[in-house]
Chain A
């Protein structure tokens, strides 16, 4: 039982990182990015390609983050030309496009990805530690840097930010880039557990959407907590009740949210 909980926390760390990315994009650009999981999948492939080329895992990781940042910012600049509902549908188009591109480039063959963390219950500390570090770094960037200040200004009032000379579009690209870095972490964390393939983030995306919804797509800490909770709940339900119950956990969380009204939901406007 304890072992299962630890295993669930490891899965939950993946969801938490991806949920963090979703919260960042929604907070700073007002869009729920359905393509976030696919961007993370591409990052995992980039990391795999770098390791395959002979780099050590810990050298490939920062390089992957840089590539992920560029890819996220580029995706925002190239694709996100609308706001509101159209923007949401555009992220779905991006999801389809990135998925198809990845299947073209890397084929849908299953690949194994190196796991830097030791197995067993204690190995879960690795993913959790990585997520904690990313959360702390993002906090530092957003709270204590000039770029973070403009980000928060745009999030608070895009029009006022534009009037005071901030290039809102570029700041949105910055938000997407930061989110893509958080997403890349989830991709690299999940790749050793499931095999590397274009569809690998499908399940994680649903869980991360539910986790981000716990925080009303606005509260990063609630999103991380939601991710860990869903990870543990999925593992326990899958192990002790019924294997197929796993897929119902995110849906159950989402449907229960309006009734429970956790604190984080204050961020969701009715």
Chain B
């Protein structure tokens, strides 16, 4: 397997290198911990304040769309663990998303309280992620893409056949706002999704910085060397894939909470491709890539001329996506001045 996507552009020479060494521009490889922005805390505070105030400023329909963006952020954070940090391609995350959505919908229609559906959806997707990931990562890198593609194709017909509602889909009730808060239901759902997305983000940071997370990045950089150092490629990649599938399943559950309706046609291979296109266009291996990608997934129409062209052009011109372009911009400007 090649070194992966993010190593393609090690061309930036930051200020202060001075010695003639070329070092990679910030953010050009996963796990790069150099700060990219001088005011991280102030920015985080502003972002949190802005995110919490959104439901009180925005009318219902745009709020619904912003909620969906957060739902896809969770899914893309998961996909990024495999595709960005692991350097492997999954075409099955739409299926895991759908499995999570249906798990939540079936539990809700059986009368389960909605807080219970979140761990249930995550667990089911995690288990299936292990079941499919374990054999898939044993062979070469393309094999995971092929197996997950087969999963994505097989799941919608099975849902249509087996799940309640069949091809017609399954409407469920969305979470009600508790009486004491005085919020509208859609505001409450937005805040719930925001809380889960923030937790998912924090957890993913911990996962990426854990021993296994760094082992995953090391495996992508040089599988042979990593294996010689005692890392077990199959086990680490299978775990990463299962975690990634769990994130997709949790995102599917949030999708059910947000839309209150699930149908097999929503979770076809098209969704898997859209998710992959989103993370690639946003930028692999970065948080902002997941956020930009989620906006792309929400507002770009279903795969067609536009997204096909966008995917090819982004890979050809800017393999690190929009995030990579933005991060390279200062280096470009400096180079022009000197």
Q: Could you list which residues of chain A lie within 8 angstroms of chain B, going by C-beta atoms? A: 26, 32, 34, 79, 81-86, 88-90, 92-101, 103-104, 202-203, 206, 209-210, 213, 217, 244, 247-248, 250-251, 254-255, 257-259, 265, 268-270
Contacts and interface: CB of A to CB of B under 8 A. Distances in A.
B8 A86 contact: yes
Given A206-B149, A255-B132, A269 B316 contact: no
B2 A84 contact: yes
Given A96-B304, A97-B309, 12 more contacts: A82-B8, A85-B1, A86-B8, A92-B276, A93-B310, A101-B305, A203-B153, A209-B150, A254-B146, A257-B139, A268-B143, A270-B233
A215 B149 CA distance: 18
11 contacts: A79-B312, A92-B91, A96-B277, A96-B304, A96-B307, A99-B303, A99-B308, A100-B305, A202-B153, A244-B157, A268-B143
Given A88-B142, A89-B276, A244 B2 contact: no
B147 A97 contact: no
A82 B151 CA distance: 27
B138 interface: yes
Contacts of A244: 157-158, 161
Contacts of A93: 277, 308-312, 315
Nearest to A203: B153
Given A86-B315, A92-B273, A213 B146 contact: yes
A32 B310 CA distance: 20
Interface in B131-178: 132, 135-136, 138-143, 145-147, 149-151, 153-154, 157-158, 161
B87 interface: yes
Contacts of A103: 304
Contact of A85 (B5, B136, B309): B5
A202 B147 CA distance: 15
Contacts of B5: 84-86
B142 A258 contact: no
Contact of A270 (B3, B140, B319): B140
Contact of A89 (B139, B141, B311): B311
B89 interface: yes
Per DSSP, are chain B's interface residues mostly helix, strand or loop, or mixed? Answer: helix
On chain B, which size bracket covers the interface? Answer: 35 or more
Interface of B: 1-5, 8, 87-89, 91, 132, 135-136, 138-143, 145-147, 149-151, 153-154, 157-158, 161, 233, 269, 273, 276-277, 280, 303-305, 307-312, 315-316, 319
B273 A96 contact: yes
A113 to B, nearest CB: 23
- Interface majority SS on A: helix, strand, loop or mixed? helix
A250 to B, nearest CB: 5
A14 to B, nearest CB: 16
Contact of B154 (A83, A104, A248, A265): A248
Contacts of A99: 303, 308
A113 B253 CA distance: 43
Contacts of A95: 273, 308
Contact of A104 (B3, B143, B269, B305): B305
Residue picked from B8, B150, B304, B319, most chain A C-beta under 10 Å: B150
A251 B269 CA distance: 14
Contacts of A209: 146, 149-150
A85 B149 contact: no
Contacts of B151: 251
A71 to B, nearest CB: 16
Contacts of B276: 89, 92
Contacts of A100: 303-305, 308
Nearest to A242: B161
A21 to B, nearest CB: 15
Contacts of A269: 140
A90 B2 CA distance: 15
Contacts of B87: 85
Contacts of A250: 150, 153-154
A179 B310 CA distance: 25
A88 B310 CA distance: 15
B316 A217 contact: no
